[in-house]
Amino acid sequence: MGESWAPPARPEREIEAVIFDAYGTLLDVHSAVARHAARIGPEAAAVSAEWRAKQLEYSWVRSLTGPQHHQDFWTCTVDALRYVCARFGLRDAALVQDLLDAYRRLDAYPEVPAMLEALRAQGMRTAILSNGAPMMLSDATRAAGISTQLDMLLSVEAVGVFKPDRRVYALAEQRLGLPAHRMAFVSANPWDTQAALAAGFRAIRVNRTHAPDEYGLEAAGVPSLTNLSPLPGLVS
């Protein structure tokens, strides 16, 4: 009697989901100041750069000094802007409010919508894992027109600590039900990329400014992209 036939098993995909950092990776953090650069003057680029640096500094200090000091990323963003405006002598309250409103509606990088669509056409799950507070991520992705191309918006507020704490990266495994090595993690922040690599993800760096290698990412074999357009081919 002949053996029953069964179709060959479908090969397991190496990567089943792509997890993105939001700010600086999908969303241009400098687009808020760019919209109001004429009102700020020649120091607009410096204001934007220092706002970003202070925002991250405040998040790291709050994490390192313990859970009793935690405030969400919107609070860090507001506090950082207040500091920077004081340092650069920007006293126009209307300008400050307009900058904060603009930060809630940052521009996506131009290639992002098509890239996300290509990933989803491949059957890839897509998510954001970000320092951003839930309302920040909801507002930003909706304003950028990419909310329907993302399966999940994961905020560090679920664990009460900022990146690069390892508990943040574990959140993606818990919520997507996948081990880290079955997910790609994409970030424009090298410290974030390094933390994701240490947590077991297939880390990918976006290096739009051709900045030098950091944290030994190149030696570790972490791919580096100048924009996100090649990503669907890289993870397929």
Q: Which residues are tagged catalytic?
A: 21
H helix and E strand count, the chain: 10, 6
For tokens 């802007």, name the residue: 81
> Can you tell me the distance from the alpha carbon of 229 to that of 224, in angstroms, rounded to the nearest whole number?
12
Among 85, 96, 95, 100, which Cα is nearest to 50's? 85
Question: Do the beta carbons of residue 73 and residue 63 sit within 8 Å?
Answer: no
Q: Which residues pair with 187 in a beta bridge?
A: 205
Q: Bridge-partner residues for 128, per DSSP?
A: 20, 153
Q: Who contacts 48 (Cβ-Cβ below 8 Å, separation ≥6)?
A: 29, 30, 32, 33, 34
Greatest Cα pair distance, the chain, in angstroms, is: 89
Q: Which helix (H) or strand (E) holds 19?
A: strand 17-20
**3-state SS assignment for residue 81:** helix
| Calpha distance 212→217 (Å, rounded) | 10
